[in-house]
Amino acid sequence: MLEIRDLRIEATAYPPGEPARELTLVEGVSFSLKKGEVLGLIGESGAGKSTIGLAAMAYGRGGVRITGGEIRLNGRDIRQGGARALRALRGREVTYVAQSAAAAFNPAKRLMEQVIETTLHHGLATRREAETRATQLFRALSLPEPETIGRRYPHQVSGGQLQRVMTAMALCPHPDLVIFDEPTTALDVTTQIEVLAAIKQAIRQTGVAALYITHDLAVVAQVSDHILVLKAGQMVEYGPVQQIIEAPQMDYTRELVSVRKVDHPEQPSRGEPVLSVAGVTARYPGTKLDVLKDISVDLLPGQTLAVVGESGSGKSTLARVITGLLPAAKGSISFAGRVLAPALAQRSKDDLRELQMIYQMADVAMNPRQTVGTIIGRPLEFYFGITGAARRERVQELLDQIEMGEGYLDRYPAELSGGQKQRVCIARALAAKPRLIICDEVTSALDPLVAAGILKLLLDLQ
């Protein structure tokens, strides 16, 4: 069904003060997919996984060009058909599930309208047929209230629920090929297992072929038939799932397989709580439903508190209440011995600096019109008055800390991978020299090796 031969993808970089130069993002990648098969693309952040996935629908981000190779779907080279043929292809024969559902939905439209939009645009079904199909997919993907969830707006569901709605959107037109770009990134483990099972069942029932892009080897092992391991845009290893998992041939693949959870003994903590949440109840404006009810917890200096729960259980809401983004309806938040004002706008500059949050959805946490240097540099100027060359030097130090190195200062968010965007958000939080960092699933977009490095960095800073 899908055959890619000797794929080569390039981009043009424009470093400030230097002549433009060509970059090779992907080189020499070849694979094939049969009807009903799933190929898992796995590798580190920036390895070219999403770039290859988009190339399977003959698409490249701004400045990115497919310069070599063949991309054949159902026997024809889709690059040769022209713009009109590609418009007919995308959303009909090939669909795409983006990594960040929050950035992919129109906030002013109800979910059902967006799920069936492509199906109706291509004339594949009547409105009633499309809505029936969408409701069936909502149920298969374990979404709550499948009969009515389509009436909600994107902001009225959790990140994990929104990601599943986007999967339903991709499956609704009965495509030949679906490109899944980390669709379970925002889901809790329990829901992730259910969604992966639902995706696999849907693939088997419809006979659709699928590219499954991920940084999580455990995920790709559950849903894929074959695995292609990538590094720096090149193939490292390609083979059946069992072979890659149990008998990897290359050193990089062995590193991915060997990443394991390790036990960290609890460190003794002394002193008064740095954070105290007392009897907090929270609800969203205009509703009477308590999202959080009577939550109390203390965090001592040097401690790490893990907040665990299913998608939609209120984890991110608690973070928003602590940071003042959502004022608590009842209760109090104390930080470093002082009671914080409920709303962000009422807090002091020191309150804002010392309590930083790193958001789950890096795509919507950065201004797309600002460079990486500007994004990370803003806290340096706002809190410490650091400007000019000193600010640029400090930003580079922060980039080195989060293992991004040189060459990223003048890039825009659209020029970064999902994992790189999240690391920029981490560097921005570190720039403020906070006493407490609230991490809302900050490693969900990172491959295991980089995630382990980020967690070690946070632990070392602590």
CATH number of the domain where residue 186 is located: 3.40.50.300
pLDDT of residue 185: 66
At 268, the pLDDT band (50, 70, 90 cuts) reads: low
Q: Are residues 391 and 301 in the same domain?
A: no
Decide if pLDDT at 17 tops 80.
no
Mean pLDDT, rounded, of the chain: 88
Q: Are residues 276 and 371 in the same domain?
A: no
11-20, 142-151, 304-313: range with lowest mean pLDDT: 11-20
Decide if pLDDT at 149 tops 90.
yes
pLDDT of residue 267: 60
pLDDT of residue 160: 76
Residues β-bridged to residue 21: 13
Decide if pLDDT at 266 tops 90.
no
Q: Are residues 214 and 182 in the same domain?
A: yes
At 455, the pLDDT band (50, 70, 90 cuts) reads: confident
Q: Are 63 and 234 in contact (CB under 8 A)?
A: no
Q: Are residues 122 and 141 in the same domain?
A: yes
Decide if pLDDT at 82 tops 60.
yes
pLDDT of residue 33: 93
At 186, the pLDDT band (50, 70, 90 cuts) reads: low
pLDDT of residue 150: 96
pLDDT of residue 263: 56
- Furthest-apart CA pair in the chain: how many Å? 68
Identify the top-confidence range among 250-259, 345-354, 410-419.
Answer: 345-354
Decide if pLDDT at 193 tops 80.
no
- Using the Cα atoms of residue 104, residue 106, residue 112 and residue 113 in order, give the sign of their dihedral: negative
- Boundary residue ending a domain (258, 285, 315): 258
pLDDT of residue 446: 67
pLDDT of residue 259: 65
User: CA–CA separation, 431 vs 381, rounded Å?
Assistant: 10
pLDDT of residue 342: 92
Q: Are residues 421 and 403 in the same domain?
A: yes
22-26, 407-411, 457-461: range with lowest mean pLDDT: 457-461
Better-predicted residue by pLDDT, 442 or 273? 273
Q: Are residues 312 and 408 in the same domain?
A: no
Q: Are 174 and 202 in contact (CB under 8 A)?
A: no
Q: Are residues 203 and 270 in the same domain?
A: no
Q: Are residues 163 and 69 in the same domain?
A: yes
Q: Are residues 331 and 453 in the same domain?
A: no
- Give the global pTM: 0.69
Q: Are residues 153 and 196 in the same domain?
A: yes
pLDDT of residue 354: 93
At 394, the pLDDT band (50, 70, 90 cuts) reads: very high
84-88, 114-118, 168-172, 313-317: range with lowest mean pLDDT: 313-317
User: CA–CA separation, 230 vs 402, rounded Å?
Assistant: 21
Decide if pLDDT at 447 tops 90.
no
Decide if pLDDT at 99 tops 80.
no
Instruction: Determine what percent of the chain is predicted with pLDDT higher than 90.
Output: 56
Decide if pLDDT at 264 tops 60.
no
User: CA–CA separation, 408 vs 376, rounded Å?
Assistant: 11
How many independent structural domains does the chain possess? 3
- Boundary residue ending a domain (258, 274, 307): 258
Mean pLDDT of 398-408: 85
pLDDT of residue 260: 53
Quick one: which of 217, 125, 213, 128 has its CA closest to 171? 125
Better-predicted residue by pLDDT, 287 or 245? 245
Q: Which domain holds residue 152?
A: 2-258
Quote the tokens at residue 205.
């029932």
pLDDT of residue 19: 80
Q: Are 142 and 110 in contact (CB under 8 A)?
A: no
Mean pLDDT of 271-293: 87
pLDDT of residue 286: 77
HEC profile for the chain? Answer: CEEEEEEEEEEEECCCCCCCEEEEEEEEEEEEECCCCEEEEEECCCCCHHHHHHHCCCCCCCCEEEEEEEEEECCEEHHHCHHHHHHHHECCCEEEECCCHHHHCCCCCCHHHHHHHHHHHCCCCCHHHHHHHHHHHHHHCCCCCCCCHHHCCHHHCCHHHHHHHHHHHHHCCCCCEEEEECCCCCCCHHHHHHHHHHHHHHHHHHCCEEEEEECCHHHHHHHCCEEEEEECCEEEEEEEHHHHHHCCCCHHHHHHHHCCCCCCCCCCCCCCCCEEEEEEEECCCCCCCCCEEEEEEEECCCCCCCCCCCCCCCHHHHHHHHHCCCCCCEEEEEECCEECCCCHHHCCHHHHHHEEEECCCHHHCCCCCCCHHHHHHHHHHHHHCCCHHHHHHHHHHHHHHCCCCCCCCCCCHHHCCHHHHHHHHHHHHHHCCCCEEEECCCCCCCCHHHHHHHHHHHHHHC
At 405, the pLDDT band (50, 70, 90 cuts) reads: confident
- Boundary residue ending a domain (209, 231, 258): 258
Q: Are residues 131 and 45 in the same domain?
A: yes
Q: Are residues 447 and 322 in the same domain?
A: no
pLDDT tens, residue by residue, 340-378: 999 999 999 999 999 999 987 788 899 999 999 999 999
pLDDT of residue 207: 82
Decide if pLDDT at 29 tops 60.
yes
Better-predicted residue by pLDDT, 418 or 420? 420
Mean pLDDT of 376-393: 95
Residue with tokens 């929270």: 282
The answer for residues whose C-beta is within 8 angstroms of residue 182's C-beta and 6 or more apart is 99, 213, 214, 215, 418, 445
Count CB-CB contacts under 10 A for residue 388. 8
User: CA–CA separation, 454 vs 457, rounded Å?
Assistant: 5
Quote the tokens at residue 447.
């491959």
Angle at which helices 159-171 and 127-140 pack, to 10 degrees? 130
The answer for residues whose C-beta is within 8 angstroms of residue 22's C-beta and 6 or more apart is 10, 11, 12, 13
Count CB-CB contacts under 10 A for residue 408. 21
